[in-house]
Amino acid sequence: MITTSTQPAPPETARPLTVSFWQAFLFWLKLGFISFGGPAGQISIMHQELVEQKRWISEKRFLHALNYCMLLPGPEAQQLAIYIGWLMHRTIGGIVAGVLFVLPSLFILIALSWIYIAFGHLTWVEGLFYGIKPAVTAIVFQAAHRIGMRSLKNKTLWMIAAFAFVAIFALNVPFPVIVLSAAMIGYVGSKLSPALFEVGGGHGQSSKSYGAALIDDDTPVPAHARFNWTKLAVLVLAGVVLWIIPMGSLTALYGWTHPLTQMAWFFTKAALLTFGGAYAVLPYVYQGAVNHYGWLTPTQMIDGLALGETTPGPLIMVVTFVGFIGAYTHALFGPELLFVAGALAAVIVTWFTFLPSFLFILAGGPLIESTHNDIKFTAPLTAITAAVVGVILNLALFFGYHVLWPQEFAGGFDWIAALIALGAAIALFHYKRNVIQVIAVCAVIGLVLSYIQLP
């Protein structure tokens, strides 16, 4: 627990003297239920609550942690919660913050996935998804635009994005190959022309103060947050054990080729490739889950993203839907245990997707608390982020043609879906409406259309 003694200060700027573990626990639990709006919305909620209102951490320390999380694979908002929880209440604080960030979403998505697959044939359910899917297409285009405007600071980065788009769209190059190629370009670029790969824009720094904070700019690094080789070794070993035990158990019980074992292995790889957030890894999930393994159809993949957009928690929680639908539709435990198979698969893919995030923060946090950015580390990540823009654009086009030509171009152009997508894009780009508002309106439109006549 962080405690500090200070000189008396005016009431409006008095430093919080202490925050108990259970105070923090209740906040992280609340955050798990209200963390809508994707990473931007979730980070905004944490900033408002922890920096501006509660003053548990200063603006500068908050941004320092956030900049580190932005460079990691995985959901940056959840990793930021883990980081702050760890900084305040040691390892247990980080674990609680990270688990509670995703736990409500896990249960909600399991329930929604079951409703979707069991009752999705109902007219009103079909209508809701008919309106939501064009909105999701517009949302993915907005994600490509947003990340591109933030990341593509020069012609070199624009070229990397263009090459990544051509590689995945025209040449069907696997996503991991694109990531590794971009990383190599960034590393070489850091030697030849480092200025092109400097981290700029981003979240920046701020000198604004909301009053003295519990973890302030000048607060010493607590003992548990100081780097120690023994602690690092113990954490890495614990992470490996927590991966090996469930993976080994699945392999022993079902064999390496069983879908549950392959889901565990596939989403382990996905967890290490999510540079740039969930939108960046979705093409890789699509390539594997739809094309390679056949766990779900392209339409179901779009529907899963729609559900992920409308529930709290990280957007990458769409993998919970993928696991549930894959196990349910393939009746892994027989026709009598469809829900059990789906729920177990959902838990398995969630575990293997989020386990690396805890290790990255708990093991890497002490280094970040004591070191500064180094171009040879940040340049590969800058190049990867540029490549991610091209990959997300490909994902948007994929969603677009499946929504606008629902019968794979054979059934004609769906002009009603196109109008919904256009309206959603105008709401997002011009009127700056948030994702939840856009999805809700489009869902209502689809529901109304379902009682008139769906195409």
CB atoms within 10 A of CB 164: 27
For residues 202 and 312, what is the distance between their CA atoms, to the nearest angstrom?
A: 24
The length of the chain is 455
Amino acid 230 reads: T
More confident residue, 334 or 176: 334
* pLDDT score at 11: 45
Q: Contact 38/435 with Cβ under 8 angstroms? A: yes
**Confidence band (pLDDT; 50, 70, 90) for 426?**
very high
For residue 244, is it within any domain? yes
Mean pLDDT of 404-425: 80
Q: At what angle do helices 76-119 and 338-370 cross, to 10 degrees?
A: 170
Q: Contact 399/140 with Cβ under 8 angstroms? A: yes
Mean pLDDT of 206-231: 78
For residue 147, is it within any domain? yes
C-alpha distances in angstroms, 214 versus 45, 47, 84, 126?
18, 14, 12, 50
For residues 171 and 174, what is the distance between their CA atoms, to the nearest angstrom?
A: 9
* pLDDT score at 350: 95
For residue 118, give the H/E element and its range: helix 76-119
For residues 255 and 103, what is the distance between their CA atoms, to the nearest angstrom?
A: 28
Q: What is the DSSP letter of 13?
A: G
Highest mean pLDDT among 114-123, 232-241, 434-443: 232-241
* pLDDT score at 202: 41
Residue 293: both structure tokens together:
């393994």
Helices and strands in the chain: count of H runs, count of E runs: 16, 0
Main-chain phi, psi angles of 189, to 5 degrees: -65, -30
Highest mean pLDDT among 142-146, 168-172, 246-250, 374-378: 246-250
Whole-number percent of the chain with pLDDT over 70: 86
CB atoms within 10 A of CB 33: 14
* pLDDT score at 40: 63
Q: Say if residue 1's pLDDT is above 80.
A: no
At 393-402, the pLDDT tens digits run: 887 887 787 7
For residue 216, is it within any domain? no
Does the pTM exceed 0.85?
no
Q: Say if residue 113's pLDDT is above 60.
A: yes
At 368-377, the pLDDT tens digits run: 776 545 667 6
* pLDDT score at 438: 87
Split into its structural domains, the chain has a count of 1
For residues 392 and 95, what is the distance between their CA atoms, to the nearest angstrom?
A: 31
Residue 362: both structure tokens together:
């708990």
At 4-41, the pLDDT tens digits run: 444 444 445 566 668 899 999 999 999 888 776 566 66
For residue 49, is it within any domain? no
At 172-185, the pLDDT tens digits run: 887 778 878 988 99
Three-class SS of residue 139?
helix
* pLDDT score at 370: 66
Residue 440: both structure tokens together:
């809700």
**Confidence band (pLDDT; 50, 70, 90) for 275?**
low
For residue 40, is it within any domain? no
For residue 111, is it within any domain? yes
For residue 158, is it within any domain? yes
Three-class SS of residue 235?
helix
- The residues near 195 (Cβ < 8 Å, ≥ 6 apart) are none
For residues 454 and 35, what is the distance between their CA atoms, to the nearest angstrom?
A: 33
**CB half-sphere exposure, 149, CA atoms < 13 A:** 6
Main-chain phi, psi angles of 220, to 5 degrees: -60, 150
* pLDDT score at 178: 85
At 90-110, the pLDDT tens digits run: 999 999 999 999 999 999 999
The partner residues of 3 in beta bridges, in order of sequence, read 18
Mean pLDDT of 179-204: 78
Q: Say if residue 341's pLDDT is above 60.
A: yes
In this structure, is the dihedral angle defined by the CA atoms of residues 380, 383, 384 and 385, taken in order, positive or negative?
A: positive
Mean pLDDT of 413-427: 92
Residue reference for tokens 């959840």: 78
For residues 261 and 263, what is the distance between their CA atoms, to the nearest angstrom?
A: 5
Main-chain phi, psi angles of 317, to 5 degrees: -60, -5
> 325-329: long-range contacts at Cβ-Cβ below 8 A with a sequence spacing of 24 or more?
325/113, 325/116, 325/117, 325/295, 325/296, 325/300, 326/259, 326/263, 326/289, 326/293, 326/295, 326/296, 327/259, 327/260, 327/263, 328/113, 328/114, 328/117, 329/117, 329/295, 329/296
For residue 64, is it within any domain? no
Q: At what angle do helices 59-70 and 76-119 cross, to 10 degrees?
A: 60
- The residues near 103 (Cβ < 8 Å, ≥ 6 apart) are 32
Mean pLDDT of the chain: 83
Q: Contact 124/450 with Cβ under 8 angstroms? A: yes
At 41-94, the pLDDT tens digits run: 677 778 888 988 888 998 878 877 876 787 777 888 899 999 999 999 999 999
Q: Say if residue 201's pLDDT is above 70.
A: no
- Please choose, from the candidates 81, 71, 72, 73, the residue with its C-alpha nearest in 3D space to the C-alpha of residue 102: 81
Q: Contact 259/326 with Cβ under 8 angstroms? A: yes
Q: Whole domain around residue 287: which residue ranges? A: 105-208+229-450
Residue 183: both structure tokens together:
């990383």
Q: Which of 43-47, 244-248, 285-289, 353-357 has the lowest mean pLDDT?
A: 43-47
The partner residues of 7 in beta bridges, in order of sequence, read none
More confident residue, 230 or 453: 230
Q: Say if residue 257's pLDDT is above 50.
A: yes
* pLDDT score at 241: 97
